[in-house]
Amino acid sequence: MPKAFVLMNAELGSEDSLVSELKKMEGVKEVYQVYGVYDIVAQVEADAMEKVKETITWKLRKLNGVKSTLTMIVME
C-alpha cells in the first residue's frame, strides 16, 4: 500500500488545530506534533500512489496554518 510521511511547518499557534484537522482527514493514518525543525509529522496512506499525492497536494498542503511541507514517499 503506497505510503508517505509529510513533515510540516505550522504558523505559530496553529499546531493544535492543524493536528485536529489532520486526524479527521481521509488517508491520514497517524499524526504527531513534534519538537525540532518541523512541527507536525503525518503519515498518509491510500490504495494508489496517485491518491496519496492528491491528498498531500490538494488537502493537506492547503490547510490554513501550514507554512511548508517536506514529503518522503516510502519505498515499496
Confidence (pLDDT) at 13: 95
Q: Which residues constitute the domain of residue 44? A: 3-73
pLDDT tens for each residue of the chain, 76 residues long:
999 999 999 999 999 999 999 999 999 999 999 999 999 999 999 999 999 999 999 999 999 999 999 999 999 8
Number of other residues whose CB lies within 10 A of the CB of residue 27:
18
What CATH number corresponds to the domain at position 17? 3.30.70.920
Total number of domains constituting the chain:
1
Residue type, 15: E
Contacts of 12 (CB under 8 A, 6+ apart): none
C-alpha cell at 17: 488545530
Q: Which helix (H) or strand (E) holds 9?
A: strand 3-10
Provide CB contacts within 8 A for 24, sequence distance 6+. none
Tell me how far CA of residue 5 lies from CA of 13, 31, 44, 52, in angstroms: 22, 10, 6, 10
pTM (global) more than 0.75: yes
